[in-house]
């Protein structure tokens, strides 16, 4: 019983993961609103930095937040960047990882109990 509780306590997603997910989702929403003109271009992201507005000569305007580390590589994005051009923004990745984490933890908690149940049934 104690082991199951420990696995639950230490295995389930922590508060910081949820904070990171919320900030990333907020940054993505704000970037979309800046792009559509709902918010002014001088809006700051959840980390207190201005969004970057990229206006290529041809093509669609892109709004970018450099994320909590404030850095973006010269080509592409790093793992915490948020951009209106992303089809799979970071908060969606965090959600999927948390879902996998919950499933694994619940499986680890349930497995010993299932083994004990099967052993008890076989003894009968």
- Measured distance CA(61)–CA(86) in Å, rounded: 13
Domain for residue 67, yes or no? Answer: yes
CA 29, distance to chain mean position in Å, is 14
**pTM for this entry:** 0.71
Q: Which of 3-17, 36-50, 110-124 has the highest mean pLDDT?
A: 36-50
Query: What is the DSSP code string of 1-15?
Result: -HHHHHHHHHHSPPH
Instruction: State which residues form the domain around 61.
Output: 15-91
Q: Are the beta carbons of 84 and 63 closer than 8 angstroms?
A: yes
The 10s digit of each residue's pLDDT in 39-94 is 999 999 999 999 999 888 787 899 999 988 888 777 778 888 999 988 888 888 88
- Whether residue 14 is predicted with pLDDT greater than 90 in this model: the reply is no
- Measured distance CA(28)–CA(22) in Å, rounded: 10
Tell me what the pLDDT averaged over the chain comes to: 87
Number of structural domains (the chain) is 1
């Amino acid at each position: 019983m104690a082991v199951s509780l420990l696995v639950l306590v230490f295995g389930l997603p922590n508060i910081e993961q949820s904070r990171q997910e919320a900030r990333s989702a907020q940054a993505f929403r704000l970037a979309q609103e800046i792009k559509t003109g709902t918010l002014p271009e001088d809006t700051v992201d959840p980390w207190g930095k201005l969004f970057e507005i990229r206006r290529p000569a041809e093509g669609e305007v892109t709004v970018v937040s450099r994320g909590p580390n404030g850095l973006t590589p010269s080509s592409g994005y790093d793992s915490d960047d948020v951009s209106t051009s992303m089809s799979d923004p970071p908060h969606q990745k965090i959600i999927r990882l948390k879902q996998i984490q919950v499933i694994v933890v619940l499986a680890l908690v349930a497995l010993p109990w299932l083994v004990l149940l099967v052993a008890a049934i076989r003894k009968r």
